[in-house]
Each structure stands twice: as structure tokens, then as C-alpha cells.
Amino acid sequence: MDYDTEAGHLHNGRCLTIMRILLQAEFETLMAAFSSFETPPIIAVATSGGPDSLALALLAHQWATARGGKAIALTVDHQLRKESRQEAEQVKAWMTSHAIEHHILTWVRLDDQKKLESAIQATARQVRYQLLGDWCKENETKYLLTAHHAQDQLETFMIRLAKGSGLKGLTGIQAEVRTDFGRILRPLLQIDPECLKETLRTLKQDFIQDPSNENRDFTRIRWRKLLPSLAGEGLTPTSLQETLERLNDAQKLIDQYMDIVLSRYICVYPQGYATLQKDIFQESVEGVEEAFKRILATIGTRNYPVRRKALREAIEALKTGKSMTLGGCQIINKEKEWLIVREPVAVGIDVEVERPGTYLWDERFKVDVPLEAAPCRIASLGDFGVQNLNAILKKSLNVPSIVLKTLPALWKGEELFHPLPSYTFTPRYPLNSHANQI
């Protein structure tokens, strides 16, 4: 564990001046860019112990308490390094010294997650957001702040550019993202990370230096080492900002067009499936591809969209009348439309429930578990459950059998306790606000 206590040196002290403004006024302006908060504001802050998140926690604490609210620091212990618990406890001590509520969220890995030999950073990121989101949901906290800054934005842009990302990816890290618990907010996206270090040094606040930040095995770190050379050619976080603004403007125009396309050809049903009209081929090739990409994300809940090459090949096959699986979905050919349903074998893992409440299952459904059902587990209805449904009930539901298999049910052991609990379809990636929601 390496703590940084050295004095800063950026631009002959210019950053210290910026930070004095940031502490008192600029952070207020950054937070004002977001839509209104509840009163008093209760906000969670992802706090790893690095300089960026520690500075954000202190700034957010000052902002929230000035409004009668509070900031709550959350530290995720991934248990990937032997020092991780000690570091998490150190962050807790620092937060306590500032009168900031703090919680450590520990990743308890499953057997198949014990050895992470590839995609370590991507897996850790996914787990981190899952744990943070779960805490926010359980504690009814609607806002989660993360400390992504201007250098993160530039690195992300270059990584996505190198991978051939489309326009959506090249619009960069978004300042505000809506989630099933509320919103993720990133107020520091235009702030130089060196300024955040200077803030802590001015406050005489130590921070943790993560050794993985020097590990060239990681793609992001290799790009980070290239940034000084790129800056010499004029590519800096500041110059990138104008490009990102233009790309975001272009994306907004596409979104407006897609709102029309999606509302015209797609119907999304509360049982978590959709229909896509075949006359969508009247639209542009790009519009067709984007419609398929979005509906597959809504029904299939995959973290990443289907690759463009695979999507184009699939669309050409669908034109010939074929059915197929793609992106966690089954696409079933009908006379005038395609039926797009969750692929049964891709349905999420069971959720064990100890007490009544509302639980997220399969990243798509909020399922209500009544008092008489707990404890139980939430799992798909499956073939067995469908076979045991009353025939009259099946007919009244008017839902394809393949869809029924993928709906949530409440089980006690191997016994089907409640085949049709109350639920709401809340996909991770909603189609859009204008699509036909039946």
C-alpha cells in the first residue's frame, strides 16, 4: 500500500488556484449542470482511495452538507490484491475523520470467478457497478457519483477509436446515466486529474497509489503512457472536448430519427418480449441495423451490443425467412413480423430471497415477493412451470409459450410456489421513451 503525501508541482502552482475555485464555486457549478436533487440531497460516492475519488468524496460532502444532506462514501473491495482490505479500512478511517459515512462492499467471488486470468479490469468494473448499484437500491439512494475525469475521457475515446467503435461509443463517457436505482453522475469529466491531486495536497489529505496504474498489461495503462506524445501533437482533453460535443450533437440527431423508426415498427410487451415489423426494410440500412441493435439490447440485456459484422450477417439471413439466436435473444420468423424473445438458456441466475420485497431478476424484471412467499428463490418459469399452468390461465395470458418460459416465478426448493408473481418489466437498456409499450 503506497500513500502519496508529496507536494504538487503542476504549472507553477496554477492548479492550486483552480482548486481553490473548484472547492468553493466550480464544484457548485458542476453539480448545477445536473437536474434537480431531492431535498435534502442524499448521495453515494464511489470512493476507491485514489486521489480522484477521494477528492470527489470531500467535495460532494461539502456540497451535500451545505444543503442539509449528506454524502456516503462506498468502497468496493474486489479482493484481487492482498492489500485490498487494508486499503479499504484506510479509506474508512479517512472518511470517518471527515465525518463522512462510509461502507465497504466486498466482492464474494463464485467458484468460477476465483481465477481471473483475462479481462480482469472489465470484470472488476462490472462487479463494482453491480455492488454499488445494489447498495443504492437497498438503501434507497438515488444518486451515485463517480470520479471519472478529463484524462479518463481521453483514454476511453482512444481505446474505443482503436477498436473501431461506432458513433455512440465515440461520444465518450456520459456525464449522466439513468439506472434502475436512479442516476449515475460524473461531475468531474472536464477536470484535470492533477488538479484533484492538488486539492488533496492542499487539504493535507493522503491518498492511495494503485500499483495497477503502472501495469502495461492493461490496455488503458498503455494508452495512458502515450498521452504525453499525443499532447505534443495537439490531442489533449481540452481539444477532445469540442470533438465530443460535436459527436454528441450528431448522436442526438440520430436518436431523433430512431425514435420515429422504433415507434413505427416495434412493439414492446410487459412480459419482456417484442415484435418487429418486416416492413422496416423501407427504412435506411443504417436505421434497420440500429433498430435491431437496440431491441436486442432491450430484450437480451447484454453488456455490449452485437458486433456490426455479425449483425449485418444476421439481418441478411433473416431476410430469407430464417429464425435464429443472437445477443441473448431468439428471433422467430413470422409472416409479417419477427418475434424477439429472451433466449431461455440465457436467462439470468436464480435470486435467493430471504425476506419480502422487490428484487431485480435477469436484469429485466422487478419482482415482488410477498410475505407468505419468503424465503424463496426467483427463477424462470421454465418448461416445468409452463406445463403446470392451468390451460385456461395460459389462454387468458395470450403470451407465446416460449415467452412464458422466460418469465419470473417463485420457487421453494424444486416446488413451484407462485407461477405468476407480480412483476414489472424494467430492462437495463430501455428501447426509448417513444416506442410502443403495450
Q: What are phi and psi of 419, to 5 degrees?
A: -75, -25
Specify whether the CB–CB gap between 45 and 53 falls below 8 A. Answer: yes
Tell me the C-alpha distance between 211 and 103, whole Å: 23
Mean pLDDT over all residues of the chain?
Answer: 86
Tell me the C-alpha distance between 408 and 416, whole Å: 11
Averaged pLDDT for residues 379-388: 89
pLDDT digits (tens, 9 = 90+) for 133-147: 999 989 999 999 999
The answer on pLDDT for 269 being more than 60 is yes
Amino acid sitting at position 27: F
What is the value of pTM for the model shown? 0.74
pLDDT digits (tens, 9 = 90+) for 232-254: 888 888 888 889 999 999 999 99
Cis peptide leading into residue 375 (ω within 30°): yes
The answer on pLDDT for 375 being more than 50 is yes
Tell me the C-alpha distance between 126 and 128, whole Å: 5
Q: Which CATH class is domain 256-345?
A: mainly alpha
Angstrom distances, CA of residue 40 to CA of 66, 147, 184, 222, 412:
10, 22, 18, 42, 41
The answer on pLDDT for 114 being more than 70 is no
Strand 337-342 with 324-326, pairing? unpaired
Q: Is the CATH number 3.40.50.620 carried by domain 2-243?
A: yes
pLDDT digits (tens, 9 = 90+) for 5-43: 433 333 333 343 344 445 657 898 999 999 789 889 999
Confidence of residue 203 (pLDDT cuts 50, 70, 90): confident
Tell me the C-alpha distance between 345 and 359, whole Å: 21
pLDDT at 223: 87
Confidence of residue 47 (pLDDT cuts 50, 70, 90): very high
372 against 233, higher pLDDT: 372
Residue 146 CB-density burial (10 A; 0-12 exposed, 13-18 middle, 19+ buried): buried
pLDDT at 153: 93
Strand 324-326 with 42-46, pairing? unpaired
pLDDT at 392: 61
Question: Can you list the alpha helix ranges (DSSP code H) found in 301-360?
Answer: 308-319
The answer on pLDDT for 428 being more than 70 is yes
Domain boundaries, the chain: 2-243, 256-345, 347-425
363: left (phi over 0), alpha (psi -120 to 50) or beta: left
The answer on pLDDT for 191 being more than 60 is yes
Backbone CA torsion sign across 326, 330, 335, 336 = negative
181 against 119, higher pLDDT: 181
